[in-house]
Structure 1
Amino acid sequence: MTDFKPIRALGLMSGTSMDGVDGAVLTTDGVEIHDFGESAFRPFTPSEAETLRAAQGLWPGEKPDVLQAALKVVQAAHTDLVLEFDTIELVGFHGQTLNHDPDNGRTFQLGDGADLAQRSGIPTVWDFRSNDMVMGGQGAPLAPFFHFACAKWAGLTAPAAFLNLGGVGNVTVVDPSKPSPETTGALLAFDTGPANAPLNDLMTARLGRDFDEDGALAAAGVVDETVLTRVFQRAFFAQKPPKSLDRHDFHDVLDLVDRLGDADAAATLTALPAACVAANQSHLTLPPQNWYVCGGGACNPVMMQELSNRLKGRVSSIEELGLDGDMLEAQAFAYLAVRSYRGLPLSAPATTGCKAPAIGGRYSQP
Structure 2
Amino acid sequence: DGAQLAAQTKIDVVFDFRSADVAAGGEGAPLAPIYHWALVNASDYTRGLGGPVAVLNLGGVANITYVSIGGQPTDLIAFDCGPGNGLIDEWMQIKTGLHMDEDGALARSGKVHTDILRTMLLNPFLRRTPPKSLDRYDFKLEAVLKLPLSDGAATLTAFTAACVRASEKFLPAPPALWVVCGGGRRNPAIMEALAKALDAPVVAAEEAGWRGDDIEAECFAYLAVRSLKRLPISFPKTTHAPHAMTGGVLRRWRP
Superposition TM-score tier, normalisation by shorter sequence: over 0.9
Q: TM-score, normalization: structure 1?
A: 0.67
- 8 Å CA contact 1:135–1:356 kept in 2: the answer is no
SS in 2 for 1:198: helix
Pick 1 or 2: higher relative contact order, CA cutoff 8 A, min separation 6: 2
SS in 1 for 2:30: coil
Flag the structure with higher strand content. 1
CA RMSD of aligned residues (A): 1.0
Following the alignment from structure 2 to structure 1, what is the Cα–Cα distance between the partners of residues 25 and 69?
A: 26
SS in 2 for 1:248: helix
- 8 Å CA contact 1:173–1:286 kept in 2: the answer is no
The Cα shift of 1:324 comes to: 1.4
Q: How does 1:89-100 map to 2 (within 5 A)?
A: none
Structure 2 partner of 1:286? 173
In structure 1, give the amino acid aligned to 2:227: S
Q: How does 1:314-325 map to 2 (within 5 A)?
A: 314-325=201-212
Q: 2:164 aligns with which of 261, 264, 277?
A: 277
Q: How does 1:336-347 map to 2 (within 5 A)?
A: 336-347=223-234
Following the alignment from structure 1 to structure 2, what is the Cα–Cα distance between the partners of residues 354 and 232?
A: 28
Cα shift readout 1:313-333 (whole Å, capped 9, x = no counterpart) = 111111111101222111110
Cα shift readout 1:291-318 (whole Å, capped 9, x = no counterpart) = 0011111111111111011112111111
SS in 2 for 1:334: helix
Structure 2 partner of 1:145? 34
Q: How does 1:227-266 map to 2 (within 5 A)?
A: 227-250=116-139, 252=140, 254-266=141-153
Instruction: Give 4+ residue runs of structure 1 displaced > 3 Å after superposition.
Output: none
Following the alignment from structure 2 to structure 1, what is the Cα–Cα distance between the partners of residues 78 and 116?
A: 26
In structure 2, give the amino acid aligned to 1:299: R
The Cα shift of 1:279 comes to: 1.0
The Cα shift of 1:282 comes to: 0.6
Q: How does 1:38-57 map to 2 (within 5 A)?
A: none
SS in 2 for 1:358: coil
In structure 2, give the amino acid aligned to 1:278: R
SS in 1 for 2:145: coil
Q: 1:350 aligns with which of 207, 224, 237?
A: 237
The percent of aligned pairs where both chains have the same amino acid is: 47
Following the alignment from structure 1 to structure 2, what is the Cα–Cα distance between the partners of residues 320 and 172?
A: 18
Q: 2:182 aligns with which of 295, 311, 314?
A: 295
Q: How does 1:1-366 map to 2 (within 5 A)?
A: 112-155=1-44, 156=47, 157-178=50-71, 180-182=72-74, 186-250=75-139, 252=140, 254-366=141-253
The Cα shift of 1:158 comes to: 2.2
The Cα shift of 1:227 comes to: 2.1
Structure 2: which 5+ runs fail to align?
Answer: none
Following the alignment from structure 1 to structure 2, what is the Cα–Cα distance between the partners of residues 259 and 358?
A: 47
In structure 2, give the amino acid aligned to 1:237: L
In structure 1, give the amino acid aligned to 2:137: H
Following the alignment from structure 1 to structure 2, what is the Cα–Cα distance between the partners of residues 283 and 232?
A: 16
The Cα shift of 1:204 comes to: 1.1
Following the alignment from structure 2 to structure 1, what is the Cα–Cα distance between the partners of residues 92 and 215?
A: 26
Flag the structure with higher helix content. 2
Following the alignment from structure 2 to structure 1, what is the Cα–Cα distance between the partners of residues 119 and 245?
A: 36
In structure 2, give the amino acid aligned to 1:174: V
Following the alignment from structure 1 to structure 2, what is the Cα–Cα distance between the partners of residues 191 and 231?
A: 17
Report how many aligned residue pairs link the two structures: 249
The Cα shift of 1:225 comes to: 1.7
